[in-house]
């Protein structure tokens, strides 16, 4: 390292996230950027019903890194769950941490682990888990996300496959707390206890991801269901008033140049899929949509912003369904299917989070799943210039918001995309992302 680095100060900075319990920053593991070992605050994760530990910690580290000079930013890291080794003075023993990092690999299976994996439920589940794993061999305490590489949607697909194979049904609150292979199998065993179950007793056909989502989303509530039925109510006064207010806000603060509005389908159902630059993206988009689309629009969003009576009223008025896609992914997808199946228009941000630098990040496969399941088009949308107004982890840039600043937001709506039957969800997400990114890059000229 050519510049002085105070590792303790950097660690204190990253511990500003409540989701990081401990962190050890290393500058001697290979050459190149800083490397860290991160211990998550699992008690808080469980309290908030967060299962995507890796995604959340990446989001937190990415945001906190922007508060540091480039040479002090953690670029590479790994997540461990055991406490960091410390000496008598409570100082981190960095050499011991380095040794553990260098020697870390999937553990050799001990006799109790082999015995556990040979039990009927584990033996029935292990091949399905292994078939989906991206992180190597399955072992009892492997973390589904961090060790095996399953994202939230793949976890749901895996659970659906196991439920069908073991003829059981996990309660949603139980499914949301499962982090490891052992917890998953034990949860299945605790609900369903068939006599004489063995892998040979199982059907030869295992559900594909498409079959899994068909099973998950086929039983939708009636139009009168209080959870989602209110999405179908007409907003005779609220819709036009809200539409006019958003148009005024757009004219005063955002002043977007919009291309391709004529590419929007004449009516729903369809999915608007923009890149995600800032908190204000939904307001900017709603401020440029034609009224025929605006009045049929709905959004599924995080509930923590809508916990008071007033904010719940705002959510209902704006047709925002407060369901957390992280901790309650299946209800979020069911809400999306409910609205789309009643010819509504869904606004979904496929990145799942705001971009740290304004560029287009990886798209998740939620929109392709809905598009395939309901045979509805996805409308790619590129947003540019909103990140500069309110960057992630920073305050509003009032100098650019001011009408005299000359800053202009640019929006382009692309041609609707249908997901062909032979295209996988992952390939569909990649194609959608490539289309949005190409439009986003074109907006810079």
Q: What is the pLDDT of residue 444?
A: 81
User: Which residues, 6+ apart, have CB-to-CB distance to 63 below 8 Å?
Assistant: 356, 392, 393
Sheet holding 345-347, edge to edge: 257-259, 410-413, 378-384, 270-274, 345-347, 297-301, 320-322
The model's pLDDT over 14-52, given as tens digits with 9 standing for 90+, comes to: 999 999 999 999 876 555 678 899 999 999 988 887 888
| 3-state SS, one letter per residue, for 33-50 | CEEEEEEECHHHHHHCCC
The model's pLDDT over 96-112, given as tens digits with 9 standing for 90+, comes to: 988 887 777 666 778 88
Count of CB atoms within 10 A of residue 144's CB? 27
Kindly state the average pLDDT of the residues 57-69: 90
In the chain, the domains with their CATH numbers are 7-103 (3.30.300.30), 111-217 (1.10.1200.10), 229-442 (3.40.1130.10)
* pTM, entire model: 0.83
Q: Are 374 and 398 in contact (CB under 8 A)?
A: no
255 burial type by CB count under 10 A (0-12 exposed, 13-18 middle, 19+ buried): middle
Sheet holding 20-26, edge to edge: 20-26, 34-40, 74-79
85-100 as b/e: b if 16+ CB within 10 A: eeeeeeebebeebbeb
Cα–Cα dist 28/196, whole Å: 54
Q: Which residue has the tokens 């309290």?
A: 47
**Residue 85 DSSP label:** P
User: What stretches of 126-217 adopt beta strand conformation (E)?
Assistant: none
Q: Which helix (H) or strand (E) holds 410?
A: strand 410-413
Residue 264 has pLDDT above 80, yes or no: yes
Cα–Cα dist 181/142, whole Å: 6
The model's pLDDT over 399-444, given as tens digits with 9 standing for 90+, comes to: 888 888 888 899 999 999 999 888 889 999 999 999 999 999 999 8
**Confidence category of residue 150, pLDDT binned at 50, 70, 90:** confident
Cα–Cα dist 98/352, whole Å: 33
Higher pLDDT, 340 or 67: 340
Least confident among 13-22, 191-200, 201-210, 235-244: 191-200
| Average pLDDT in the chain | 85
Cα–Cα dist 209/163, whole Å: 13
Q: Which residue has the tokens 């047709």?
A: 319
């Amino acid at each position: 390292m050519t510049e002085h680095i105070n590792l303790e100060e950097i660690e204190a900075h990253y511990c500003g996230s409540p989701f990081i319990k401990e962190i050890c920053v290393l500058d001697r593991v290979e050459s190149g950027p800083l490397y860290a070992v991160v211990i998550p605050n699992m008690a808080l994760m469980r309290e908030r019903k967060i299962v995507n530990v890796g995604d959340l910690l990446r989001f937190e580290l990415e945001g906190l890194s922007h508060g540091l000079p480039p040479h002090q930013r953690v670029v590479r890291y790994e997540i461990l769950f055991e406490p960091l080794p410390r000496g008598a003075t409570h100082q981190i023993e960095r050499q011991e941490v380095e040794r553990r990092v260098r020697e870390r690999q999937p553990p050799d299976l001990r006799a109790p682990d082999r015995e556990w994996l040979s039990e009927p439920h584990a033996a029935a589940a292990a091949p399905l888990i292994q078939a989906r794993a991206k992180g190597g061999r399955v072992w009892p305490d492997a973390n589904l996300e961090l060790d095996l590489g399953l994202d939230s949607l793949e976890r749901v697909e895996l659970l659906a496959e196991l439920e069908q194979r073991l003829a059981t049904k996990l309660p949603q609150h139980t499914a949301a707390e499962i982090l490891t292979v052992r917890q998953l199998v034990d949860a299945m065993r605790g609900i369903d206890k068939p006599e004489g179950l063995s892998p040979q007793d199982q059907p030869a056909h295992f559900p594909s991801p498409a079959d899994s989502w068909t099973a998950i989303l086929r039983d939708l509530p009636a139009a009168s269901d209080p959870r989602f039925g209110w999405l179908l109510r007409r907003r005779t006064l609220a819709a036009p008033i809200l539409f006019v207010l958003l148009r005024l806000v757009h004219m005063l603060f955002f002043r977007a140049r919009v291309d391709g509005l004529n590419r929007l389908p004449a009516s729903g159902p369809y999915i608007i899929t923009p890149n995600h630059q800032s908190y204000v993206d939904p307001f900017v988009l709603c401020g440029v949509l034609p009224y025929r689309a605006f009045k049929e629009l709905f959004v599924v969003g995080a509930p923590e912003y809508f916990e008071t009576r007033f904010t719940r009223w705002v959510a209902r008025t704006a047709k925002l369904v407060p369901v957390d896609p992280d901790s309650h992914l299946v209800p979020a997808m069911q809400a999306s299917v409910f609205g789309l199946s009643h010819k509504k228009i869904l606004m979904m941000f496929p990145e799942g989070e705001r971009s740290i630098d304004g560029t287009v990040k990886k798209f998740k496969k939620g929109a392709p799943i809905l598009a395939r399941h309901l045979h509805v088009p996805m409308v790619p949308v590129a947003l540019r210039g909103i990140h500069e107004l309110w960057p992630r982890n920073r305050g509003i840039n009032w100098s650019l918001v001011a009408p005299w600043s000359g800053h202009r937001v640019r929006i382009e709506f692309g041609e609707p995309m249908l997901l062909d039957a032979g295209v996988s969800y992952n390939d569909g997400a990649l194609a959608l992302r490539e289309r949005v990114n190409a439009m986003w890059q074109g907006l810079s000229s």
